[in-house]
Structure 1
């Protein structure tokens, strides 16, 4: 057995013989419903009667593990905690959601426990079999529960994707991505709260995958144009604004569109405006510069809540992109070396702050702070040449993997190679 952050133990994985809650309850039958979403309809399988209590204890433990340990990855910008509260409740009648959650939970456990990966694969296949009838066409629409299931399956891809800071073919599923795009709303105000929460998770997933793969974003973030202003708003809105700005920056840096100096200057102004007008709640409660002794190279940055931590981290991620892709940096000439060193030092400063925020605020309820730190390290970790700096970054990756249960082996292997470390 393996403990979770909630103190609960998870039994080792056994491949289920039946679909959860179907054959185990003779009185329960499946019903086909046609649910409308826009101009098209798709068949969906739902239980006529609630599936709870689950008859398989392992499945109940997996559901609990999702609620306690996996859902925080999804609810980063969601004060209503849809993936921790609302979506698990819907598994009582929606087997597609249940299978997606069980797949995500089992995949997460495979990262740190002796848990059979075939269990995760089983639930992924069960979920896909239920989704495929409504995914037959590129424009096939689906209801919000099925869309949330696709977003959860993308999390499974994130866990199992080979991540490094070298540009490569995206490991994302074209099938899932096609239906993310096909089901994108044109206005986030007109959709339900569950749909809105799912699309924001999709945005966060895409930013993560784009950073580590150094590719432009896929998510249709045009639907979020409702608010890119600097008007007064709650903390969560301010965090979403800077995340959208990161998506714009990824599109500028790695996309095929315009890369003019004018576009770059506009992006710089947007980032500066966000920093200038952000609410007072985004300022640190406490800040302490690193002592620079031993492996302590990160500042101590206490922030009020997860929204502030995520917002400031994404601001510095954006600054890494702006600095690394500055079209005004000289390519030749007597000042090139000095300018490039200044830019290099600036980038390393942003990485230190991002990692410092993770170390200062990365509790079990906010594992995304640590995952964001891995994004910064994957992008710019190779710029750190001092051995003590490299050890400090490696400690962040180790903590992310061991305590926050997020895979970092590929990133570690890549930067070790960049640093010239011998494989151990």
Structure 2
């Protein structure tokens, strides 16, 4: 990625697209949880930063590659629990910060951007301002309430416990709808986990953790339901992100087995190594077989 330091080449949209593709293959070569030297991600960071202002205004290859790059950064930041290095000021006044009527792709990118901003709020160094949190929460609520009809499921079926079902079936019309709603769930998981309004003392202090745990579990189970109800390739991988980071909160043995199955099936379908994530969950749940796993 030596070109990422060249002031002329760093503006080349073709190189941005190439770095995003290389990062995609790099992601497939590293485990869901574990070592990731982020060689091509670092190059993508330079291209994203250099081309952000143009990408936000344009359509075409640069814009498409830019948003794929943002999603890659979101996924890495969510797993590593790190802030996203991006100057969000380039989005100020753009269509991505409004609820104006627009095409589905732009509407989906709005929630991807919000997810990136929430990650920076949670893991950044600027503290957890209540006003900032309220703005992020309000945007997530407005986005979901105002979303076009195309973002509503074409089929929704709650899990049937008599059939040993844990996750709902939630079908969407297209890939961008799957990506958008899953990123909305990721954002809501983070907003629940880092809610500065949670009482530290008083009569409601004991109730707050249980409420947060239930909300996070709801979003994780919906991530899994969406991921395996649709044919969109990123769906199961995004579901695994939620499982690997929040699955330890689940205490029911049957539900734990279902979450492990998500990791196992995704490895079979997507060739994404989830062995480390499986081991960490088994260990967190105190599974007997955890000791039998060898990295």
Partner of 1:124 in structure 2? none
Of the three residues 198, 210, 229, the one matched with 1:360 is: 229
Matches within 5 A, 1:394-413: 394-413=260-279
Of the three residues 193, 203, 219, the one matched with 2:60 is: 193
Q: Tell me if 1:414 matches 2:280.
A: yes
Change (3 A) 1:299 1:261: same
- Structure 1 or 2: more strand by fraction: 1
Displacement of 1:377: 1.0
Name the CA distance, whole Å, in 2 between partners of 1:261 and 1:185: 28
Report the aligned-residue RMSD.
2.4
**Bigger radius of gyration, 1 or 2?**
1
Aligned residues: 287
Change (3 A) 1:269 1:138: same
Contact 1:295 / 1:389 at 8 angstroms: preserved in 2?
no
Contact 2:99 / 2:146 at 8 angstroms: preserved in 1?
yes
1:300-345 per-position Cα deviation (integer Å, ceiling 9, x unaligned): 1111211212111111111111111111112344432322111101
Contact 2:82 / 2:119 at 8 angstroms: preserved in 1?
yes
Name the CA distance, whole Å, in 2 between partners of 1:237 and 1:342: 33
Name the CA distance, whole Å, in 1 between partners of 2:45 and 2:116: 18
Unaligned 5+ segments in structure 2 are none
3-state SS of paired residue (1:186): helix
Return the TM-score normalized by structure 2.
0.88
Q: Tell me if 1:372 matches 2:247.
A: no
Return the TM-score normalized by structure 1.
0.63
Contact 2:220 / 2:246 at 8 angstroms: preserved in 1?
yes
Matches within 5 A, 1:228-307: 228-293=97-162, 295-307=164-176
Select the structure with the greater relative contact order (CA < 8 A; seq sep ≥ 6).
2
Change (3 A) 1:220 1:194: farther
Displacement of 1:224: 4.3
Displacement of 1:172: 2.4
Displacement of 1:171: 3.8
- Structure 1 or 2: more helix by fraction: 2
Of the three residues 66, 78, 81, the one matched with 1:211 is: 78
Structure 1 range deviating more: 283-292 or 200-209: 283-292
1:160-189 per-position Cα deviation (integer Å, ceiling 9, x unaligned): 34443xxx9974237525533553332325
